[in-house]
Structure 1
Amino acid sequence: MTGTTTKPGGGGPVTVATERTTNPIASIVRLRELPVTVALVVLVLVTYLANPLFLSAQGVKDLLLNATIMIILAVGQALVIITRNVDLSVGSILGLVAFATGTMFATMPQLPIIAVFAIAMLLGAVLGAINGALVTIAKVPALVITLGTLYIYRGLNNAWAGGTQYFADDRPDAFGNLSVDTVLGFPVITLIAILVVVVVAVYMAGARSGRDLYAIGSDPDAAKLFGIPVGRRVFLAFLANGLLAGLAGVLYASRFNSVGATTGSGMELDVVAAAVVGGVAIFGGSGSVAGAAIGAILLTTITSALTALRVDKFWQQAIVGILILAAIIIDRVASLRTAKKLRMSEARDV
């Protein structure tokens, strides 16, 4: 339906389009996160029926622990993808930060754990800021820039670590217990991941700079015309992504028994897949960090479920690939349908 309003500062009436009141159920059905949520529930139920131990207390805890690192990485990646960019270096950032965490505990055992978190997240933020600066200043596609920094950061980690590895015995018990202790049944590191999702989701919905990211992803040129500082916003998205990758690197060092030169290798594609499967449009401008988190849970649960069902690892990778293609196709079809409805609505108004 249409209505009239007045131009700011006076002037004649202007016809604007307003949305009809929609059915709450219809609104839920149109949620981008709904398909991946349904897929996750079906996957868990089917696996549980085939193997009841899958949802035992320890089984649920393992599922949460397996998803924790990926959730944090997917949230950061969602910020970047929404701006119509991508960061392929997150696995290398995680690996570099994880090894730095092990180094700090081995060489400075008296350093407070909170200080280790702060230093590691700062390192991740610096690495993310380098990506953001190169993308926004050099005006080179993020795919190319971050593919280069993927190898640069990985090379730095290889040169630094060499054959050195840090194991669980090299870290304080309190740090390792972050992945062991639970609160209301949730591992502490998983609660940290949930907190990250909530904070970033509130920021994206409530802050002007968060909403600007959607505008940039939808149409960067139009965003500039509206006065949005596109370069600054994209830079901050990369910086935030690096900071969250740094946080994931610290938690990785707590979660797993060892960190070394190869830590985080290959994770970048899984992170992008989690965000896309979770409803974050690869073309930018739509999606949510909550959806990216659910996508991360789905992908890690697929691996656990198929392992519990003794399915070959090849099929695990094939299913993830099918999910990525399905998510992109569904998003493209939905975009075309929305554009068609908009054109028809404009034709009726005329």
Structure 2
Amino acid sequence: MSQPLRHDEGAEASTSEALLVEPSRLSRGRRVLGVVLRSRELSIFLVLVAVVVAATARNSGFLFSADGWRNFLLNPSILLLLAVGQATVIITRNVDLSVGSVMALTAYLTGRLFIDVPGIPVVVVFAAGLAAGALLGLVNGVLVSLARVPSLVITLGTLYAYRGIMLTWAGSERINAGDLPAGFLALANRSVLTVPVLTLVALAVLAVVGYYLYTARGGRELYAIGSDPDAALLYGLGVRRRVMAAFVLSGALAGLAGVVYTARYGTVSSSVGSGFELQAVAAVVIGGVAIFGGSGTVWGAAIGAFLLVTINRALPSLGIADFWQRAVWGALILGAIVLDRVLAARQARRLVRARDVA
């Protein structure tokens, strides 16, 4: 004969049953919407698809043409590289505002290497761009980690310092396509299975960094540091070393972006990279990386980069003035931040309810 349930057992059972039954009471549409909102990457991807569909419906050449498809894949590659590095830094609860200036310096360095060292291998130039960017990123990392000065202040200072070095070095000179070897410029036109080579380079970097952050212990420690730097320090994690490494990675990828920029456009002036630091931050935030660190993925940042660049191409074809392009960017950033706060508050309430039930 079964024993009757005690009052607390019955309450616990009924509560558990309620929790199990609750989701099934929602309509299928609301359940799908909930999944989309919880997956920031999926929601941003669906927005990207909607923009592409709207632009293509207005002008089929936007995507279904050789140049349209190529530009859709190739144009975001530079911002994608910057966004991946920026996302890694923001995950640690920091920010790197110097990436545009780093990109400018390495872009000009690329041109000078080809001019001053005739016959230099393209691979060596790519390596030099990575190394120069990593060195500039190391300066940021050392100042932030050892001097304990907020990264916003440090990288704002190096933004202007690096830009000043660029202006002093380049002056009024301009690197032109005629100064660069044809083999290097051909990288912008080469494709593998209709995917541009420069895009494949950016996607390879995305895959490596994304895999490291998701699987490696060092990658998970970056998330732990961003979630609570003080707790991570007490736990014994190498907070300074990890933060420094994040800035080095951001600088290296900005350096690589400078080389890719030179190969893509063939010309370099002193204004290269201006405003790219804010675009990188915007792509990361829109892609679902929490501005306060500890959550988000580089995959979302990459989709955010694609979305921003695609919007720039799509809105003119839809007959929307240039002014509204920036307005749409601002709306997306505000929407991403509000959504992040709403989802975080909802998750906190769920944890409280689960703890009360337990």
Aligned with 2:201 (options 171, 192, 198): 192
Shift of 1:310: 3.1
Asked if 1:228 is matched to 2:237, the reply is yes
Contact 2:210-2:299 at 8 Å conserved across structures:
yes
SS in 2 for 1:63: helix
Q: How do 1:153-232 residues align onto structure 2 when only pairs under 5 Å count?
A: 153-232=162-241
Whole-angstrom distance in 2 between the partners of 1:71 and 1:308: 23
Residue 46 of structure 2 corresponds to which residue in structure 1?
Answer: 38
Residue 120 of structure 1 corresponds to which residue in structure 2?
Answer: 129
Shift of 1:119: 1.0
Counterpart amino acid of residue 312 in structure 2: T
Give the alignment's Cα RMSD to 1 decimal: 1.6
Counterpart amino acid of residue 41 in structure 1: V
- How far does the alpha carbon of each residue in 1:153-183 deviate from its partner, in whole angstroms, 9 at most, with x for none? 0000000000011111111111111110111
Contact 2:188-2:263 at 8 Å conserved across structures:
yes
Whole-angstrom distance in 1 between the partners of 2:74 and 2:221: 33
SS in 2 for 1:166: coil
Whole-angstrom distance in 1 between the partners of 2:45 and 2:71: 19
Q: How do 1:304-319 residues align onto structure 2 when only pairs under 5 Å count?
A: 304-319=313-328
Residue 64 of structure 1 corresponds to which residue in structure 2?
Answer: 73
- How far does the alpha carbon of each residue in 1:48-87 deviate from its partner, in whole angstroms, 9 at most, with x for none? 1111111122101012111010011100000000001100
Whole-angstrom distance in 2 between the partners of 1:325 and 1:84: 19
Residue 48 of structure 1 corresponds to which residue in structure 2?
Answer: 56
Whole-angstrom distance in 2 between the partners of 1:192 and 1:307: 28
Contact 2:185-2:266 at 8 Å conserved across structures:
no
Counterpart amino acid of residue 186 in structure 2: N
With structure 2 as the length reference, what TM-score do the two structures score? 0.89
In the alignment, structure 2 segments of 5+ residues that lack a partner are 1-19, 25-30
Counterpart amino acid of residue 38 in structure 1: L
The worse-fitting range, judged by mean Cα deviation, of 259-268 and 153-162 is 259-268
Q: How do 1:1-350 residues align onto structure 2 when only pairs under 5 Å count?
A: 30-55=38-63, 56-349=65-358
Counterpart amino acid of residue 151 in structure 1: Y
The worse-fitting range, judged by mean Cα deviation, of 319-328 and 253-262 is 253-262
Pairs aligned (count): 329
Contact 2:78-2:260 at 8 Å conserved across structures:
yes
Shift of 1:27: 5.9
Whole-angstrom distance in 2 between the partners of 1:243 and 1:109: 24
Whole-angstrom distance in 2 between the partners of 1:296 and 1:286: 18
Shift of 1:30: 2.3
SS in 1 for 2:274: coil
The worse-fitting range, judged by mean Cα deviation, of 36-45 and 25-34 is 25-34
Whole-angstrom distance in 1 between the partners of 2:231 and 2:343: 22
Q: Which has the higher strand share?
A: 1
Amino-acid identity (%):
52
Counterpart amino acid of residue 325 in structure 2: Q
SS in 1 for 2:76: helix
Whole-angstrom distance in 2 between the partners of 1:94 and 1:29: 34
Whole-angstrom distance in 1 between the partners of 2:72 and 2:145: 38
Structure number with greater Rg is 2
SS in 2 for 1:163: coil
